[in-house]
Structure 1
Amino acid sequence: MALRDVPGLTRIAQVFGPSDAILAVAALEGAGFRVFVPGYHTLSNAQYLSVALGGVPIMVETSRAAEAAAFLDALETSDVEVLSPSAFDIIPDDDLPPPRPRGLMRRIVESAFYLLTGTAPALRGRYGRSPKR
């Protein structure tokens, strides 16, 4: 089955570079669309093949394809209003206290956990802990 015939998905764009693909995907996902980009990893690893392969399709659910295509068209024609960060409830990094260093015993336990299991403990937050508000 060809990629253009995937049931439930509709191709709304065709890109030839990994930066174009990731920007379109980020914009669409940020707007709430579910995006499927078959062949993106091939494109990002062997960009010189993109023309030979015919580019990489950007696909969304068929029920929201017209809306997604209109959204991408609006992005290209600059009809989208970009909000400033002050419009959101975002805590700037300058307002957060610096992270506390971990104690020696905790670092030893985490190192032993890593050596025994091969996985690091899960991080919490951007700096390894949740910011206090």
Structure 2
Amino acid sequence: MDALRDTAEESRLLFKKLDERLERSMLHSHHKDLIAQVSSETDPVSFLPKVAALLFLQAYNKALQAPGSAVGAVITLLKDKLPAATFKVLTECHATTMKLLALQDAATGDEDDCTSDRMLEKKEDLEERLMPELKSLALGTSKEQ
């Protein structure tokens, strides 16, 4: 920390203390934006990073911006902070999304390929079962919470 202060002083940079009111206001605004994004999201692949960021914000009161490839690590951090039911649905949604992405990568585009049937099955499972359940848990509209 001293090295940072020395470097800032030599560079004639001024550091301001964190404005806690501004930070709270920004977190609240970010929380509202994430709620709107999660509630309106229909694409299963785009949904997972948004809901993970929302759950992280709710659990740690810290904003999180992470790529989709880091969602697994975020879920691991949330394990002890979420109710068991929410964590179970979140991990199941993550696993199904990863399977869907793997099937999309393996798809050849051939009509005889059974990959498209499996992709459709995974996507329907996400859209019809997992996404609505996780949305209700993350948005606090579930009777379980």
**Could you say whether these structures have the same fold, taking a TM-score greater than 0.5 normalized by the shorter chain as the test?**
no
Instruction: Give TM-score scaled by structure 1 length.
Output: 0.26
Instruction: Give TM-score scaled by structure 2 length.
Output: 0.24
- Structure ranking higher in helix proportion: 2
The structure whose Rg is larger is 1
